[in-house]
Amino acid sequence: MSTLAVVGAQWGDEGKGKVVDVLAAEADLVARFAGGNNAGHTLVVDGVKIVTHLVPSGCTYPGTRCLLGAGMVIDPEVFAEEIAQLRTHGLLAGDELRVSLDAHVIFEFHRELDALREDASTAQTIGTTRRGIGPAYEAKAARRGIRIRDLLRPDRLRERLEHNKRALEPEFARFGSERSVSVDALCEAAARWVEWIGPMTCDAGAEVLEFIGAGKSVLFEGAQGALLDVDHGTYPYVTSSSTIAGGVCTGLGIGPTLIDGVWGITKAYTTRVGAGPFPTKLDGERGDQIRAAGGEYGATTGRPRDCGWLDLPALRLAARRNGLTGLVVTKLDVLAQLPAIEICTRYQDDLDPGRDGFDDAVPVYEPVAGWGGPNWGEQVSNARSLEQLPAGVRAYLDLVSDYVEVPVTLVSVGPGREQTIRLTAAF
């Protein structure tokens, strides 16, 4: 393979940042295709924790091209802060970054509208990150969005901002806010952004095609997870973009025949943050135990994640909707710390999540036999090959792979790069 897409196979937070960081060591280009700074990818490099929100995880390798695609929504203020922070670690010192001319821009009025809606007593609370992601994608669909390329043309930018002013100020007033949109101030801010964003801009599709044509390795990086996809997730409790592998094509402007493989990432258990159905959620001590052991708090928001046993029907649905060719299992070390575990193998009444949805799903659990040997957590964390894992852990991986009908291609047994067991070559 010369191209590989890596996507989340649950409700996000599966460890995509660490996995992409590991795989990026072999990539010439890492391209992110969707989402905004509502996603946080945590990387641990030489014991140093680095969190990215917009910049692709390939940023830890000097010289590796990092591309922000057209399917993304970009907050320039956040982007600038992130670049500055990465440079304090000696990263992005060269000409690595590229930004699609067709990516959309998040303005402060998007963030404010997001918060007003979430706080409104009559609103259906989705549990957004209040980063303006939804309103920016809404503007895109309403054909009043502002793209990176519009920042480069002041007259067009002013026209687009005036359009947004007319559309949004009445809505601010409806929520009881006296907020007004200052077109002059935003034009001045955009002029400052252009000074440093301008040299990074490109045609994202052409950039990807150039690398593929030259026989180089390209890694496509997703955000959130398959079950948060705006079309195929647990609607309306979803994100505002296409998070499945098909989003690679729309978010970067390339054809599906250029994707050689798709690896989906799942934790050894399941988590979810925000509102929406979560069939295997564990309330009480056991859920708290998993959260504490796994450090299950959002990298972007700090919000605690709900935790539960691995949901195989949901994972199989994600595998189908992404056309997965490989399965990556993360946080196996966390699960190995528990003396006994269960796994959801089906829902009551043979409910099919693809056909029936998740709202009425009642999980049916099975205990995992042979689990909970002495010092398993430490043994798993120190394993560097499949053979070094306890037999019960290997049997668990086989169970998951057989049910989902996708081979396990990589296993993560800790946050460090070295705590990775590769079973299949990526490129």
Residue 224: how many CB atoms within 10 A of its CB? 28
Query: In whole angstroms, what separates CA 57 from the centre of its chain?
Result: 11
Instruction: Give this prediction's pTM.
Output: 0.93
Binding residues for GTP: 12-18, 40-42, 305, 331-333, 412-414
Between CA 17 and CA 8 the distance in angstroms is 10
Query: How big is the chain, counted in residues?
Result: 427
- pLDDT reported for residue 115: 87
Give me the mean pLDDT over the 78-99 stretch. Answer: 94
Least confident of 38-42, 83-87, 308-312, 423-427: 38-42
Mean pLDDT of 204-231: 96
Residue ranges of the annotated binding site are 12-18, 38-42, 129, 143, 224, 239, 299-305, 331-333, 412-414
Question: What CA–CA distance (Å, rounded) separates 286 from 265?
Answer: 23
Q: Count how many Cα atoms sit within 13 Å of the Cα of residue 182 in the half-sphere of its side chain.
A: 9
Domain definitions of the chain by residue range? 3-103+198-261, 104-196, 266-422
Q: Is the pLDDT of residue 28 over 70?
A: yes
Question: By mean pLDDT, which of 265-274, 283-292, 400-409 is the weakest?
Answer: 283-292
CB 353 within 8 A of CB 321: no
Q: Residue 174 to residues 139, 169, 375: CA-CA distances in angstroms?
A: 18, 9, 59
Mean pLDDT across 381-389:
97
Structure tokens at 302: 């700090």
Residue 214 makes CB contacts below 8 A (sequence gap 6+) with none
Average pLDDT, the chain: 93
Higher pLDDT, 187 or 128: 187
CA 140 to chain centre: 20
Digit-coded pLDDT (tens) for 343-361: 999 999 999 999 999 999 9
**Segment 264-274 mean pLDDT:** 95
Tell me the average pLDDT across 85-106.
95
pLDDT score of 424 more than 70 = yes
From residue 73, give the alpha-carbon distance in Å to each of 153, 204, 214, 240, 426.
Answer: 19, 14, 29, 10, 28
What class, spelled out in words, does domain 266-422 have in CATH?
Answer: alpha beta
Residue 175: predicted pLDDT: 87
Q: What is the pLDDT of residue 43?
A: 77
Distance of CA 67 to the CA centre of its chain: 15
Give CA angle at 73 (69, 74), nearest 5°.
90
pLDDT of 125 strictly over 70: no
Distance CA 212, CA 210 (A): 6
Q: Is 266-422 the same fold as 104-196?
A: no
Cβ proximity of 267 and 325 under 8 Å: no
Query: Domain 104-196, what fold?
Result: Adenylosuccinate Synthetase, subunit A; domain 2 (1.10.300)
pLDDT at 179 over 90: no
Stronger pLDDT, 128 or 145, i.e. the higher one? 145
What's the confidence (pLDDT) of residue 122? Answer: 53
**Residue 299's pLDDT is what?**
66
- Report the binding-site residues for substrate: 299-305
pLDDT at residue 124 is higher than 70: no
| Res. 120: pLDDT tops 80 | no
pLDDT band at 61 (very low <50, low <70, confident <90, very high): very high
Domain 3-103+198-261, architecture per CATH:
3-Layer(aba) Sandwich (3.40)
pLDDT digits (tens, 9 = 90+) for 274-314: 889 999 999 988 899 999 989 998 766 678 999 999 999 99
Q: Where in the sequence numbering do the catalytic residues fall?
A: 13, 41, 140
pLDDT at 176: 87
User: Do β-strands 65-68 and 97-100 pair in parallel, antiparallel, or remain unpaired?
Assistant: parallel
